[in-house]
Amino acid sequence: MNSLPSRLLCRGLSRLLPPLLALVAALPAGAGPAAPPAAKLVADKSQIVFVTRQMGVPVEGSFRKFDAQVAFDPKKPDGGSVALQIDTASAGFGVPMSDAELPKQPWFDAAHFPQASFQSSAIKALGEGRFEMAGKLTIKGVARQVTVPVSIAPAPGSNYSVATGSLTIQRLDYKVGEGEWTDTSVVGNEVQVRFRFTLSGLGPP
């Protein structure tokens, strides 16, 4: 049998609990880390180019269509993220015959893999506007971890920021150039990808 003090204690708690719950509900949620600001890609002031070798001669192409989602504070890069999507059918060297071949199956196979992508997993500050972005690069359904060095600087005479960097990949790692085109004496295996992204809404590095 419950004692009188126990019954009184339970009765007191039952009366006190509702006001306490109401008070807790009225309190603001715990303040976690602030979400990094979102920046907008200015596509007509940005570019992605790639350089390879054909028969030992350097040739340069580009992707004409791409988009990016950037949530990043250069002063607090740890919580930032970058996602990039590239329209593989937009690849070209500016030569009609080559440009017609690149979207086909031996190369980018744009019908089955319309986008290449990069998704960051970690961003590290190196100082003086330089950063290191680790993440997953996916081309033709093949995903590999890469690390991309990036430099960010204000664009002179504007409110924009410019992010530049480059990455060297092996095209055969991503099945770009299959069948007879695996012969690297014709088309080199090494491809340098260079980018220049103009961004609005990005804070100073």
Using one digit for the tens of pLDDT, what is the confidence trace for 29-80?
Answer: 544 556 777 899 999 999 999 999 999 999 999 999 999 999 988 888 988 9
Above 60 in pLDDT, residue 202?
yes
> What is residue 24's predicted lDDT score, i.e. its pLDDT?
44
Q: Give the single-character DSSP code of 7.
A: H
Average pLDDT of the segment spanning 159-183:
97
Contact 135/119 with Cβ under 8 angstroms?
yes
Using one digit for the tens of pLDDT, what is the confidence trace for 126-138?
Answer: 999 999 999 999 9
Q: Is 131 exposed, middle or buried (0-12, 13-18, 19+ CB in 10 A)?
A: buried
Domain 38-200 is of which CATH architecture? Beta Barrel (2.40)
Give 19's pLDDT tier (boundaries 50, 70, 90): low
This prediction's pTM: 0.81
Residues linked to residue 74 through DSSP beta bridges, in sequence order: none
CA angle, residues 100, 169, 142, in degrees to nearest 5: 75
- Computed over every residue of the chain, the mean pLDDT equals 88
Domains of the chain: which residue ranges? 38-200
Nearest to 162 by CA among 172, 152, 170: 152
Average pLDDT of the segment spanning 2-13:
50
Nearest to 46 by CA among 203, 161, 205: 161
More confident site: 12 or 177: 177
- 189/171 Cα distance (integer angstroms): 5
Above 90 in pLDDT, residue 88?
yes
